[in-house]
Amino acid sequence: MILAGGTLVLVADGAKLLLLRNEGDANRPELKVLVHRTIDNPPNREQISDAPGVTFSSGGPGHSTYDQGDPHQAREDDFAQEAAAVLAAHHDGRILVIAPPRFLGAMRPHYSAAVEKRLLAEVDKDLTKHPVEHIADLIIAMDD
């Protein structure tokens, strides 16, 4: 994949976000970190302290439990919205988004019209655990 100079690259997952800009050119990309955010989002077993509540039916025997929700996934979805806002706050350059499929799906509805217009591609990979120095090489090695 060609990474032209000035291109913004968002590398994110459910807990980490890197917004990078190619300060080099297509032949020798140099990614510079513009924004770096991480969130603390422990698994549900650490966020939920007890069993869901129980309700009894007034129309007969039986009972059911209240839906407990998924606070871990809810926080990841909120973080996806924050990632889309970070893209909207940077008004220059074409945009490449690299994130796992679930995170891409959570972020997409929050893209502004300006972000959608500048979007080059979305790549469903998780590169957040790679050092910034290697991310450009990984992008260049990707097939279009």
pLDDT tens digits, residue range 95-124?
Answer: 999 999 999 999 999 999 999 999 999 999
**Average of pLDDT values for 59-64?**
57
- DSSP letter (8 states) at residue 108: G
Q: Is 47 left (phi over 0), alpha (psi -120 to 50) or beta?
A: alpha
Q: What is the pLDDT of residue 23?
A: 95
Q: Which pLDDT value is given to residue 27?
A: 87
Q: Name all domains of the chain by residue range, CATH numbers in brackets.
A: 8-39+72-141 (3.30.420.60)
Q: How confident is the model at residue 1 (pLDDT cuts 50, 70, 90)?
A: confident
Structure tokens at 46: 């650490």
Sheet holding 31-38, edge to edge: 31-38, 16-22, 8-12, 95-98, 119-123
Q: How far apart are alpha carbons 101 and 125 in whole angstroms?
A: 7
pTM: 0.79
Provide the pairing of β-strand 119-123 with 95-98.
Answer: parallel
What pLDDT score does 142 carry?
86
Per DSSP, 8 falls in state E
Q: In terms of pLDDT, which residue wins out, 143 or 3?
A: 3
Q: Tell me which residue of 90, 117, 87 sits closest to 104, measured CA to CA.
A: 87
Q: Residue written as tokens 């590398």?
A: 11
User: Tell me, what's the pLDDT at 32?
Assistant: 97
**Distance set, CA 5 to CA 14, 19, 36, 105 (Å):** 27, 15, 20, 27
pLDDT per residue as tens digits for the range 4-41? 999 999 999 988 999 999 999 988 999 999 999 988 75
Residue 143 confidence (pLDDT) above 60: yes
Predicted pLDDT at 14:
86
